[in-house]
Structure 1
Amino acid sequence: MKHSNMKHSKLMKHIKYMLIGLITGAANGLFGSGGGTIVVPAMIMLLNVEEHKAHATAISIILPLTVVSAYLYVSNNLVNWEITLPVMLGGMAGGYLGAKLLNICPAKVLRKIFAVFMILASFRMLTA
């Protein structure tokens, strides 16, 4: 009986992982980004992942989703390369800086910064 419960628990955990991935991938593909705003809170609240690991893991999760979405956008000629290339270079520098800052930022501060960012982004979306 105990072995059966362990199998069921493991199956449910994997289903939870897949659902989080499905929702994150759909948001990333539909909105062109936003996967992090879904996957980070989901990992923290539903999977009990530590704050710093959730943010770092989100990048690893979002990378392949972004590659798939980017391929579809590029193949449908929806990308403005004049904007993409310089912003991509700045984004790479910012990504490096952000990853370095993640290592020194306390979880409590990181949570507050992320919350403020999400509030500002949602406010901007609602008023646009």
Structure 2
Amino acid sequence: MIGLIIAAFFAAIAGSLGLGGGGILLLYLTAFADYEQLKAQGINLIFFIPCAIIALIIHAKNKLIEWKATLVCGITGLAGVALGFYLAGLFDPKWLGKAFAVFLLFLGLKELFHREKDQKKP
């Protein structure tokens, strides 16, 4: 239990810095705490919700939210969640975890080697 609290703390710190704290928490839960992928992702969402609510309040207060786009993203996001939940239930948790690990590996390699092209050329 102490390990989970420590991992959650560091995930929260990394997440608040924009470093992908959810990825850290998922890796800890699946690799070290022996949680199934679906359960680990559910725990990750529970930690994410308070951060998202605070960010929403701050951005709304500063008038930085395009509410029409938010509505479209929210509706399509909910549909994606329902579809993803259904599809995840069809796969063995072992394969789901391996697929997620491969996804994280490719995402990490892309971020490591991808260079953003400069829009303004002198």
Matches within 5 A, 1:77-96: 77-96=63-82
> The residue matched to 2:34 in structure 1 has which SS?
coil
Query: Which protein is richer in helix relative to its size?
Result: 1
- Alpha-carbon RMSD across the aligned residues, in angstroms, is 2.4
Using the size of structure 1 for normalisation, the TM-score is 0.69
Contact 1:29 1:66 in 2 (8 A): no
The structure 2 residue matched to 1:34, chosen from 8, 16, 20, is: 20
In structure 2, C-alpha distance between the alignment counterparts of 1:36 and 1:89, rounded to whole Å: 23
Aligned partner of 1:100 in structure 2 is 86
| Cα shift at 1:83 | 3.3
The structure 1 residue matched to 2:100, chosen from 109, 114, 121, is: 114
Using the size of structure 2 for normalisation, the TM-score is 0.72
Contact 1:28 1:34 in 2 (8 A): yes
% identical equivalent positions:
25
Task: Give the unaligned 5+ runs of structure 2.
Answer: 117-122
Question: Would the alpha carbon gap of residues 72 and 17 (structure 1) be closer, same or farther in structure 2, given more than 3 Å must change?
Answer: farther
| Cα shift at 1:65 | 2.6
| Cα shift at 1:58 | 2.0
Count of residue correspondences: 114
Question: Would the alpha carbon gap of residues 73 and 102 (structure 1) be closer, same or farther in structure 2, given more than 3 Å must change?
Answer: same
